[in-house]
Amino acid sequence: MYSHRWINGKETGLATGKAVCIGRNYVDHAKELNNPIPDEPVLFIKPATSIVGTDSPLELSGRLTPIHYEAELSVLISKPLTNAKREEVLEAIVGVGVALDLTRREAQSKLKEKGLPWELAKAFDGSCVQSPFVSFEGIDLAATTYGLDINGEAIQCGDTRLMINPVVDLICHLTQYFRLVPGDIVLTGTPKGVGKLNDGDKLTFTLSNEVLAKFNCVAAA
């Protein structure tokens, strides 16, 4: 069972909460999917049951494939936040990591065409793959880089300086609608380079060029 952990393997002591996700927070990613640039952040939620770690292979369910990856900077919340100010957000962030917002892209397109919610494409079991966290202390969220390598090749390279909405501003905004509680995580949007995962893919998460996690994809029934 998943639990939030530090990079040294120790548990954070925070219960696993929901994941609040931001869509279309990089111009180039919106363009690659032919989506309009949003006037305000696009918000959606993945439940706690969707979150899995990187200490075991990522199973790709045959009945859900194809599944696409979207690598995102993630932040771990340690204090309740409602209608939060910047100072409150900075005090509540305790950890930083990298996550995959897994997406059934074909299912999402069909749901969008019908004007239906995205849950079947975004919130299924195992759809949020979370790395171990590093301490937030000393990290500048306004100038942080992260990445996803697949089979030894750099596939997604994120830079918070290129975000449409900066991380702290995003969290202030989303707490106007969703109360964050200790153990919640926030996924802050994916850069360009999204694509399909395949059986046998070898994935690596990096944060500021340091490796956070390595794991494989495996086909599952």
Local confidence band at 112 (pLDDT 50, 70, 90 cut-offs): confident
Q: What is the pLDDT of residue 40?
A: 86
Mean pLDDT of the chain: 94
Distance of alpha carbon 89 from alpha carbon 101, whole angstroms: 22
Distance of alpha carbon 183 from alpha carbon 8, whole angstroms: 18
Distance of alpha carbon 79 from alpha carbon 91, whole angstroms: 8
Burial of 166 (0-12, 13-18, 19+ CB in 10 A): middle
Please name every residue paired with 49 in a beta bridge, in sequence order, or none if there are none.
none
Q: What is the pLDDT of residue 26?
A: 87
32-41, 51-60, 146-155: which has the minimum mean pLDDT? 32-41
**Mean pLDDT, residues 14-28 taken together:** 91
User: pTM here?
Assistant: 0.94
- Per-residue tokens: 31: 């363009």
Residue 4: name the closest of 145, 174, 131, 173 by CA: 131
Share of the chain above pLDDT 90, in %: 84
pLDDT at position 38 over 80: no
pLDDT at position 45 over 70: yes
Local confidence band at 146 (pLDDT 50, 70, 90 cut-offs): very high
* Residue with the two structure tokens 């893919």: 201
In DSSP notation, 33-92 reads: TTPPPPSS-EEEEE-GGGEE-SSSPEEEETTT-S-EE-EEEEEEE-S-BSS--HHHHHHH
pLDDT at position 29 over 80: no
Beta carbons within 8 Å of 21's beta carbon, 6+ residues apart: 43, 44, 45, 46, 72, 101, 122, 186, 187
pLDDT at position 32 over 90: no
Q: What is the pLDDT of residue 39?
A: 80
Q: What is the largest CA-CA distance in the chain?
A: 47
Local confidence band at 34 (pLDDT 50, 70, 90 cut-offs): low
Domains of the chain: 19-220 (3.90.850.10)
Local confidence band at 30 (pLDDT 50, 70, 90 cut-offs): low
Whether residue 73 contacts residue 150, with contact meaning beta carbons closer than 8 Å, is answered with no
pLDDT at position 23 over 70: yes
**DSSP 8-state code for residue 161:** G
Q: Which residue has the higher pLDDT, 207 or 62?
A: 207
pLDDT at position 33 over 80: no
Helix ranges (H only) for the chain are 27-32, 86-92, 105-113, 119-122, 167-174
Q: What is the pLDDT of residue 108?
A: 87
Q: What is the pLDDT of residue 220?
A: 86
* Sign of torsion over alpha carbons 116, 181, 49, 134: positive
- Per-residue tokens: 174: 């989303």
Q: Write out pLDDT tens, residues 72-111.
A: 999 999 999 999 999 999 999 999 999 999 999 888 889 9
Beta carbons within 8 Å of 198's beta carbon, 6+ residues apart: 60, 217
